[in-house]
Amino acid sequence: MKKAALGLGGIAAGPYLVPTSVFGKMAPSNRIHVGLIGAGNQSTIDLPAMLAQPDARVLAVCDVNTASYGYRTPDQFLGRKPAQQKVDAFYAAQTRSGRFRGCDAYNDFRDVLRRPDIDAVVIVVPDHWHALITVLAAEAGKDIYCEKPLSLTIRQGQEMIKAVRRHHRILQTGSHYRSSPANRFACELVRNGRIGRLIQIVGSFPENNFQDPGPDWKPMPLPAGFDYDMWLSPAPAAPYHKDRCLYRFRFNLDYSGGQVTNFGAHVIDMAQWALDADGNGPVELENAGSQWPPKGRLYTTATRVGFRARYAGGVELLCETREPGFGIRYIGTEGWVEYGYHGVQTQPASLAKSAIGPNEIHLPRSNPARSEEASKYHIPDHMRNFLAAVKSRRDPIEPVEVGHRTAPICHLGNIVMQLKRKLRWDPVKEEFPGDDEANRHLERPMRAPWHFGMPIS
């Protein structure tokens, strides 16, 4: 960890420092200095989770949006200014003077990456930015917490692995159900054969939670304080419409993959963990009743998810839009295990109350210090696990390779649902053997001047 460059970025040694932390474990010189990149919807979860970590100090926030109301509730206020105020207010509350003005706000993430006093970044921007910012952050020597889905394309994920490993960085993927005790328990029941031989996994996806603006949508005037060109940047040029940006970017294939990548980055990640397939993936895929919007709409992602992925051992993963919206069911020869909004449910019911024995398979816990196994802690614990990895220089619970194994299955789902024919997949070479049409979907061009390997200066 680099030493804080005191004075840089408005940080002044002053009475706001908690005196007991000056020489101890939480001394400023032992703190991990963090920059948040992306201050939208999910940042309202990730930022407080990071602020709650006593050995981290958020010194910078970045967003191409200066400040605006959110899109969910009237009191959701998003953008770099509100985020900066939130950080300053949080640290101010810990000071005797009640004042703290140490967090800087930036429009261009490269200004965060250039700061020598920033050790780590939390990337919470739309998916079309994840790979490029991660690669540039790794090149700038930063450790990275990158939100799910790790990538927009399979080739982008491969670049992320190369950059993280070449520069000896830590990367935690934001698929935080790896830090959920209930999800871990469900996976342990499957791994320990409690439902017999696993036959099928059914991943359940919610319907799209926003309607597109219809066939007659028109470009809108740009809102003040919003750098739309920087929002789009590596994505194709496109006229501004509010339904393209905040949160709704998920439903346009130029920026994301719809509910397949949105919820799939959790649901498929659970399946991969239960299957012990973190170094592997399916070998065959087929469409299963997916539906797509008419041409010309602003939203271009599937309106109904439906595909099957088969693993070499014969297990089928069926991914579908279905009630109850988000969840997963593992079906074995002797019962089933389900995990979702209602926690863990099983057949036979007694399984849900059973304990995993000392000689059975136990999956890693992201925060071994946590005695209470409540799900409410799982995002802070995922963050805790990241910071522990930053300090120990050992991989966190969901390193770049594991996050990359999940994201491609989401992308494969979108590819097979678009091509609507059976596809064979080689999970080692990460290509469709002898299938040029399908292989063309492995990458998408970036709009100039953005490319991997570009300098940040």
Ligand X SMILES: NC(=O)c1ccc[n+]([C@@H]2O[C@H](COP(=O)([O-])OP(=O)(O)OC[C@H]3O[C@@H](n4cnc5c(N)ncnc54)[C@H](O)[C@@H]3O)[C@@H](O)[C@H]2O)c1
| 69/66 Cα distance (integer angstroms) | 11
Instruction: With CB under 6 A as the rule, give the number of residues binding ligand X.
Output: 28
- Is 235 a residue that touches ligand X (CB under 6 A)? no
381 binds ligand X (CB under 6 A): no
> Among 126, 276, 274, which Cα is nearest to 203's?
274
Q: Name every residue whose Cβ is closer than 8 Å to that of residue 454 and which is 6 or more positions away in sequence.
A: 136
Q: How far is the CB of 141 from ligand X (least distance, A)?
A: 19
Q: Which of 145, 185, 205, 231 binds ligand X (CB under 6 A)?
A: 231
Asked if 127 interacts with ligand X (CB under 6 A), we say yes
Q: How far is the CB of 147 from ligand X (least distance, A)?
A: 4
Q: How many CB atoms are closer than 10 A to CB 284?
A: 15
Closest separation between CB of residue 214 and ligand X, Å?
21
- Footprint of ligand X on residues 136-195 (CB under 6 A)? 147-148, 174, 176
Residue 106's Cβ-side half-sphere holds a number of Cα atoms within 13 Å equal to 20
Q: Which of 47, 60, 61, 78 binds ligand X (CB under 6 A)?
A: 78
Piece in contact with ligand X (CB under 6 A), picked from 162-170, 202-210, 245-253, 357-365: 245-253
**Between residues 42 and 418, which has the closer beta carbon with respect to ligand X?**
42
* Of 324, 346, 364, residue with least CA distance to 180: 364
The contact mask relative to ligand X for 29-48 (x = CB under 6 A, - = no) is --------xxxxxxx-----
131 Cβ contact partners less than 8 Å away, ≥ 6 residues apart: 150, 151, 152, 153, 156, 157, 159, 160, 452
Of positions 53, 65, 172, 321, contacts ligand X by CB under 6 A: 65
- Count the neighbouring beta carbons within 10 Å of the beta carbon of residue 253: 17
Among the residue ranges 25-33, 53-61, 97-105, 121-129, the one whose residues contact ligand X (CB under 6 A): 121-129
Single out the segment in contact with ligand X by CB under 6 A; choices: 56-64, 268-276, 391-399, 443-451.
56-64
Q: Check residue 124 for interaction with ligand X (CB under 6 A).
A: yes
The per-residue b/e assignment along 210-227, b for 16 or more CB within 10 angstroms, e otherwise, is eebbeeebeeeeeeeebe
Nearer to ligand X, 346 or 406 (CB): 406
Based on the shown chain and the rule CB under 6 A, indicate whether residue 247 belongs to the binding site for ligand X. yes
Q: How far is the CB of 51 from ligand X (least distance, A)?
A: 17
Strands (E), 311-364: 316-321, 327-332, 335-340, 343-347
Out of 63, 104, 119, 381, the only residue in the binding site for ligand X (CB under 6 A) is 63
Distance CA 198, CA 185 (A): 16
CB atoms within 10 A of CB 437: 11
Shortest reach from residue 232's CB to ligand X, in Å: 8
Q: Are 49 and 90 a contacting pair, CB within 8 Å?
A: no
Binding residue for ligand X (CB under 6 A) from 171, 182, 246, 412? 246
CB of 408 to ligand X, least distance (A): 16
Phi and psi of 423, rounded to 5°?
-125, 140
| Interaction residues for ligand X, span 259-318 (CB under 6 A) | 262
Which residues contribute to the site for ligand X (CB under 6 A)?
Answer: 37-43, 62-65, 78, 109, 124-127, 129, 147-148, 174, 176, 230-231, 246-247, 249, 262
